[in-house]
C-alpha cells in the first residue's frame, strides 16, 4: 500500500489506530497526526487528549466485529495497539487479544489493509539472556499475555499466506519514556524510534509478513538479530546506553528473572519447583 516511491511521508489512505488511548497509542496519535496523517483513532476507553487535527476518535470494543470492520473500511493500514498490554488472568487476555485479533484481521482482509501488529518480546520471553535468537527461533511465551501475542503473530502469518494481507509484526521490547532497570538497557525502545518504525511499517512498499525487533540501538541488545528492518527501511536512532550509569545496577535479585529475556513475566504465576 506504500506511497513512498516518490519520497512521500504520508499514506494516501486513512490509517486506523487501535489502542489510541493507551500510552503508546497517544504518542502515535500525536506524532503521526503532526506529520499530516489521516488517523482514525479507536479504543474502548475515552481518548484522554484533545483529538489531533486530521484525526477522528470513536470508542469501540475490539470484540465488536461490526464496529471494527466499519472503522477499518477505506483504510490502507491498521496500527493495532489495542488489547490487554500486560499479564492478566487468562479470561481478561482472551477476549481482546484472541477474539479481538480475529476481528482485526477480518477487517483488514475486507478493507485490503496492511496490519502493523504491536507484538511483544513476551512471545519469546523464556529464551535465556545468554542466547541470541532470530525471528525463526521457537516461540517461548512467558505469560498468557505473551501467548496471546504469539496467536496474533500466527494470525498475521495465516492471513498473509491465505489472503495476501500484509503484516509487520513488531516484537516490542520495553517502550517507555526512558529505561528504568538494567534489563531495559537491552530491551528499551524510545518513543521516537517507535514512531519512526510505525511510519516505515506503513509506508514501506512491500512487507509480506515480517518480524521487527522493537528495540533502540542499545549496545546491550545482543539477544535479537536478523529481522526485516532493511526491508521496511528502519534503523533505530536512539540508545539506552547513556542510562547505564543510572539503571545498570537495578536488577530484581531473582536468578530466574535475571536469566530470561522476558524478565519479571517469567515468574508471574510460576508454580514450578
Ligand atoms: C510488554 O509487552 C508490555 O506491554 C510492557 O508493559 C512491558 O512489560 C514490556 O513488555 C517489557 O517487557 O518491558
63-93 per-position pLDDT tens digit:
999 999 999 999 999 999 999 999 999 999 9
Record the cell numbers describing residue 165, joined without a space. Answer: 494481507
Grid-cell match 495465516, residue found: 158
Reported confidence tier of residue 221, pLDDT bands at 50, 70, 90: confident
How many Å lie between the centroid of ligand 1 and the Cα of residue 39? 25
Protein residue whose Cα sits closest to atom 11 of ligand 1: 174
Closest ligand 1 atom to residue 172 Cα is: 2
Q: Which residues pair with 175 in a beta bridge?
A: 189
Q: Please, which residues bridge with residue 209 across strands?
A: 167
For the segment 200-214, the average pLDDT, to the nearest whole number, is 98
Ligand 1 pocket test, candidate residues 80, 86, 93, 117, most atoms within 8 A of CB:
86
The mean pLDDT of 225-243, rounded to a whole number, is 98
Sign of CA dihedral 36, 38, 43, 49: positive
pLDDT per position as a tens digit, 116-158: 999 999 999 999 999 999 999 999 999 999 999 999 999 999 9
| CATH placement of domain 4-267 | 3.40.50.720
Identify the pLDDT of residue 7: 64
Nearest CA to ligand 1 atom 4: 85
pLDDT at residue 216, as a whole number: 98
- Ligand 1 proximity of 97 Cβ (cutoff 6 Å): no
The catalytically annotated residue of 144, 145, 191, 265 is 145
Question: CA 239, 243, 248 angle in degrees (round to 5)?
Answer: 120
**Using CB atoms within 10 A of its CB, is residue 150 exposed (0-12), middle (13-18) or buried (19+)?**
middle
Cα 139 to ligand 1 centre (Å):
17
For the chain, how long is the longest CA-to-CA vector?
Answer: 59
User: Both ends of the chain: CA-CA distance in Å?
Assistant: 50
Q: How far is CA 96 from CA 1, 56, 60, 115, 128, in A?
A: 27, 22, 11, 16, 29
Q: Provide the pLDDT for residue 5.
A: 47
Q: Write 57-63 long-range contacts (CB < 8 A, 24+).
A: 57/20, 62/18, 62/95, 62/96, 62/99, 62/100, 62/103, 62/104, 63/95, 63/96, 63/99, 63/100, 63/103
Is the CB of 174 within 6 Å of ligand 1?
Answer: yes
Phi, psi of 55 (to 5 degrees): -115, 160
Alpha-carbon gap, residue 216 to 26, rounded angstroms: 20
Chain centroid offset of residue 175 CA: 9
Task: For residue 52, give the DSSP letter.
Answer: P
Query: Does an H or E element contain 198, and which?
Result: helix 191-203
Q: What is the mean pLDDT of residues 225-233?
A: 98
Residue-wise pLDDT tens digits, 100-118: 999 999 999 999 999 999 9
Span from the CA of 174 to the centroid of ligand 1 (angstroms) = 5
- Ligand 1 pocket: which of 24, 120, 190 to mutate (most atoms <8 Å of CB)? 120
For residue 222, name the pLDDT band (cuts at 50, 70, 90). confident
For ligand 1, is residue 261 a contact (CB within 6 Å)?
Answer: no
Q: At what angle do helices 23-34 and 191-203 cross, to 10 degrees?
A: 60
- Is any atom of ligand 1 closer than 6 Å to the C-beta of 85? yes
Tell me if residue 145 is catalytic: yes
Ligand 1 within 6 A of CB of 119: no
Query: Above 70 in pLDDT, residue 244?
Result: yes
Q: Which of 152, 172, 262 to mutate to test the pocket of ligand 1 (most atoms within 8 A of CB)?
A: 172
Centre of ligand 1 from the C-alpha of residue 52, in Å: 26
CA of 87 to the centre of ligand 1 (A): 9
Q: Enumerate residues 6+ apart whose C-beta is below 8 A from 82.
A: 18, 19, 22, 25, 42, 43, 44, 62, 96, 100, 104
Task: Calculate how far, in angstroms, residue 163's C-alpha sits from the geometric centre of ligand 1.
Answer: 30
Q: Is the pLDDT of residue 54 over 60?
A: yes
Flag whether pLDDT at 48 surpasses 90.
yes
Q: How far is CA 183 from the centre of its chain?
A: 19
pTM: 0.97
Cell numbers linked to 47? 481518548
Q: Answer yes or no: is pLDDT of 4 > 70.
A: no
Do the beta carbons of residue 79 and residue 120 sit within 8 Å?
no
Amino acid at each position: 500500500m506504500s506511497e513512498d516511491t516518490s519520497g512521500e511521508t504520508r499514506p494516501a489512505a486513512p490509517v486506523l489506530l487501535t489502542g489510541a488511548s493507551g500510552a503508546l497509542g497517544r504518542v502515535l496519535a500525536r506524532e503521526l497526526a503532526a506529520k499530516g496523517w489521516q488517523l482514525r483513532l479507536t479504543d474502548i476507553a475515552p481518548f484522554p487528549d484533545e483529538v489531533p487535527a486530521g484525526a477522528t476518535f470513536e470508542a469501540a470494543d475490539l470484540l465488536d466485529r461490526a464496529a471494527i470492520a466499519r472503522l477499518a473500511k477505506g483504510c490502507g493500514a491498521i496500527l493495532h495497539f489495542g488489547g490487554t498490554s500486560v499479564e492478566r488472568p487468562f479470561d481478561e487476555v482472551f477476549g481482546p487479544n484472541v477474539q479481538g485479533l480475529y476481528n482485526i484481521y477480518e477487517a483488514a482482509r475486507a478493507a485490503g489493509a496492511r496490519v502493523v501488529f504491536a507484538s511483544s518480546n513476551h512471545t519469546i520471553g523464556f529464551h535465556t539472556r545468554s542466547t541470541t535468537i532470530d525471528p525463526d527461533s521457537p516461540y517461548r511465551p512467558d505469560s498468557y499475555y505473551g501467548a496471546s501475542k504469539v496467536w496474533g503473530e500466527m494470525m498475521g502469518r495465516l492471513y498473509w499466506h491465505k489472503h495476501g494481507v500484509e503484516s509487520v509484526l513488531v516484537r516490542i521490547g520495553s517502550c517507555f519514556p526512558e529505561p528504568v532497570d538494567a534489563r531495559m538497557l537491552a530491551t528499551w525502545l524510545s518513543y521516537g524510534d517507535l514512531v519512526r518504525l510505525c511510519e516505515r511499517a506503513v509506508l514501506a512498499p512491500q512487507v509480506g509478513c515480517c518480524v521487527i525487533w522493537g528495540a533502540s540501538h542499545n549496545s546491550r541488545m545482543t539477544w535479537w538479530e536478523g529481522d526485516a528492518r532493511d526491508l521496511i527501511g528502519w534503523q533505530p536512532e536512539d540508545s539506552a546506553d547513556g542510562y547505564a550509569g543510572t539503571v545498570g545496577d537495578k536488577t530484581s535479585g531473582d536468578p530466574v528473572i535475571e536469566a530470561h529475556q522476558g524478565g519479571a513475566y517469567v515468574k508471574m504465576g510460576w508454580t514450578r519447583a
